[in-house]
Amino acid sequence: MKVKNADEIRDMIMKFPSEQRRIFSIAAHIDHGKSTTADYLLAKAGLMSEETAGQNRMTDSDDEEQERGITIFTTVVILSYDYTDENGETKTYLFQINDTPGHLSFTGEVSRALRGSDGAIILVDALEGMMTQTETNIQLAVGEELCKPVLFINKVDRLIAELKLDPKDVFSKLDIIANQVNNKIKSIVPKEFKKEWKVSFADNSVAVGSAKDGWAFTVEILKMKGLTPAKVFEKYQENDKDWLRDNLPLHDSLLRMVVQHLPHPVVSQRYKIPNIWKGDVETELGQSLRKADPKGPLLGMITKIFIDPRSKRPTLIGRVFSGTIKDGEDIWLINRKEKVKFRRLGVMEITDILTVPEIPAGNLFAAQGFICPAGESFTHYSTKDVEGFDKISYAAEPVVSRSIFPKKEKDVAKLGDVVKTWIMADPTASYYMDPETKKYTLEGIDPLQIDILITRINEQVPIDVTDPIIVHRETITKDSETFTTKSPNGHNRLQVVMHPMPDSLFKALKEVDDIDSMDRKARSKWLAEHSDGMWDEKFFRGFWASSDSNLLVENTKGVQRLDRIREFVINQWRTFCKKATLAGEPLMKTVLEITDATVHSDPAHTGITEIIAMTSAATNLTYLTAGPQLLEPLLTIDVKTPEDYLGAITGLLTQHRGMIQEIGEAGGQSTLKAIIPTTETTGLADEIRGATAGRGFFGYQFAKFEPVPPHLLDEKIAFIRKRNGLKEEVPSPSTWERFIYKQS
**Residues 6+ away with beta carbon under 8 Å from 251:** 1, 40, 41, 44, 81
CA atoms of 147 and 130, how far apart (whole Å): 19
Bridge partners of 633, per DSSP, are: 705
The total of other beta-carbon atoms located within 10 Å of residue 142's CB is: 24
SS3 289: helix
The confidence band for 633, taking pLDDT boundaries of 50, 70 and 90, is: very high
Please compute the mean of the pLDDT values over residues 544-564 and round it to a whole number: 95
**Residues 6+ away with beta carbon under 8 Å from 737:** none
pLDDT score recorded for residue 105: 55
Tens digit of pLDDT for each residue in 474-518? Answer: 999 999 999 999 999 999 999 999 999 999 999 999 877 678 888
Segment holding 251, helix H or strand E = helix 250-261
SS3 603: helix
Nearest to 489 by CA among 611, 324, 672: 611
Pick from 421-425, 523-527, 542-546: least confident: 421-425
Pick from 73-77, 206-210, 657-661, 679-683: least confident: 73-77
Please compute the mean of the pLDDT values over residues 720-738 and round it to a whole number: 94
Question: Which one is predicted more confidently, 671 or 462?
Answer: 462
Nearest to 120 by CA among 136, 103, 105: 136
**Residues 6+ away with beta carbon under 8 Å from 427:** 108, 373, 374, 375, 394
Nearest to 542 by CA among 594, 495, 506: 594
Question: Which one is predicted more confidently, 706 or 448?
Answer: 706
pLDDT score recorded for residue 378: 96
The confidence band for 450, taking pLDDT boundaries of 50, 70 and 90, is: confident
Please compute the mean of the pLDDT values over residues 733-744 and round it to a whole number: 90
The confidence band for 70, taking pLDDT boundaries of 50, 70 and 90, is: very low
Q: Is the pLDDT of residue 72 over 50?
A: no
Q: Is the pLDDT of residue 583 over 80?
A: yes
Q: Could you tell me if 247 and 209 are in contact, meaning their C-beta atoms sit under 8 angstroms apart?
A: no
Q: Are strands 21-28 and 90-99 parallel, antiparallel or unpaired?
A: parallel
Question: Which one is predicted more confidently, 507 or 77?
Answer: 507
Length of the chain in terms of residues written = 744
The total of other beta-carbon atoms located within 10 Å of residue 369's CB is: 16
pLDDT score recorded for residue 468: 84
pTM over 0.85: no
Chain centre to alpha carbon of residue 371:
19
Rg (CA), the chain: 28
Q: What are phi and psi of 298, to 5 degrees?
A: -80, 130
Distances from the Cα of 365 to the Cα of 242, 323, 345, 349, 644, angstroms: 37, 13, 7, 10, 51
Q: Is the pLDDT of residue 667 over 70?
A: no
The confidence band for 666, taking pLDDT boundaries of 50, 70 and 90, is: low
**Residues 6+ away with beta carbon under 8 Å from 401:** 441, 442, 443, 444, 450, 468, 469, 471
Q: Could you tell me if 500 and 478 are in contact, meaning their C-beta atoms sit under 8 angstroms apart?
A: yes
Within 13 Å of residue 448, how many CA atoms lie on the same side as its CB?
Answer: 15
Q: Is 687 exposed, middle or buried (0-12, 13-18, 19+ CB in 10 A)?
A: middle
Q: Could you tell me if 394 and 137 are in contact, meaning their C-beta atoms sit under 8 angstroms apart?
A: no
Question: Could you give the angle at which helices 265-276 and 284-291 cross, rounded to 10 degrees?
Answer: 130
Q: Is 555 exposed, middle or buried (0-12, 13-18, 19+ CB in 10 A)?
A: middle
Tens digit of pLDDT for each residue in 7-43? Answer: 888 899 999 999 999 999 988 887 788 878 877 777 6
Q: Is the pLDDT of residue 66 over 60?
A: no
Chain centre to alpha carbon of residue 154:
25
> Which residue segments constitute the domains of the chain, with CATH numbers given?
6-263 (3.40.50.300), 269-383 (2.40.30.10), 400-471 (3.30.70.870), 475-627+727-739 (3.30.230.10), 631-707 (3.30.70.240)
Dihedral sign for Cα 250, 251, 256, 258, please. positive
Tens digit of pLDDT for each residue in 313-350? Answer: 888 999 999 999 999 899 999 988 999 999 999 998 76
Q: What are phi and psi of 351, to 5 degrees?
A: -115, 0
Please compute the mean of the pLDDT values over residues 689-699 and round it to a whole number: 83
Share of the chain above pLDDT 90, in %: 63
The confidence band for 65, taking pLDDT boundaries of 50, 70 and 90, is: very low
Segment holding 99, helix H or strand E = strand 90-99
Q: What is the identity of the amino acid at 237?
A: Q
pLDDT score recorded for residue 321: 98
Nearest to 124 by CA among 160, 159, 153: 153
pLDDT score recorded for residue 353: 85
Bridge partners of 495, per DSSP, are: 484, 596
Dihedral sign for Cα 614, 619, 625, 630, please. negative
pLDDT score recorded for residue 682: 78
The confidence band for 395, taking pLDDT boundaries of 50, 70 and 90, is: low
Question: Which one is predicted more confidently, 512 or 543?
Answer: 543
CA atoms of 125 and 131, how far apart (whole Å): 9
Nearest to 107 by CA among 76, 130, 139: 139
The confidence band for 210, taking pLDDT boundaries of 50, 70 and 90, is: very high
pLDDT score recorded for residue 45: 55
- Mean pLDDT score across all residues of the chain: 89
pLDDT score recorded for residue 519: 86
**Residues 6+ away with beta carbon under 8 Å from 26:** 34, 37, 38, 97, 98, 99, 100, 120, 121, 123
pLDDT score recorded for residue 49: 42
Nearest to 193 by CA among 123, 128, 291, 268: 268
Question: Which one is predicted more confidently, 687 or 311?
Answer: 687
Q: Are strands 21-28 and 119-125 parallel, antiparallel or unpaired?
A: parallel
pLDDT score recorded for residue 744: 63
Tens digit of pLDDT for each residue in 414-445? Answer: 999 999 998 888 888 888 887 777 788 898 87
pLDDT score recorded for residue 438: 75
Q: Is the pLDDT of residue 708 over 70?
A: yes
Q: Could you tell me if 112 and 392 are in contact, meaning their C-beta atoms sit under 8 angstroms apart?
A: yes
260: left (phi over 0), alpha (psi -120 to 50) or beta: alpha
Tens digit of pLDDT for each residue in 129-176? Answer: 888 788 888 999 999 999 999 999 999 999 999 889 999 999 999 999
Question: Could you give the angle at which helices 34-44 and 250-261 cross, rounded to 10 degrees?
Answer: 100
Tens digit of pLDDT for each residue in 274-306? Answer: 999 989 999 999 999 999 999 999 999 999 888
Q: What angle do CA 201, 204, 209 make, to 5 degrees?
A: 75
The confidence band for 52, taking pLDDT boundaries of 50, 70 and 90, is: very low
SS3 156: helix
Q: What angle do CA 667, 114, 75 make, to 5 degrees?
A: 95
Q: Is the pLDDT of residue 50 over 90?
A: no
Q: Say how many Å lie between the first and final Cα of the chain, rounded.
A: 86
Torsion from C-alpha of 231, 233, 238, 242, nearest 10 degrees: 70
The confidence band for 4, taking pLDDT boundaries of 50, 70 and 90, is: low
pLDDT score recorded for residue 446: 73
Q: Could you tell me if 496 and 486 are in contact, meaning their C-beta atoms sit under 8 angstroms apart?
A: no
CA atoms of 584 and 586, how far apart (whole Å): 7
Tens digit of pLDDT for each residue in 247-276? Answer: 999 989 999 999 999 999 999 999 999 999
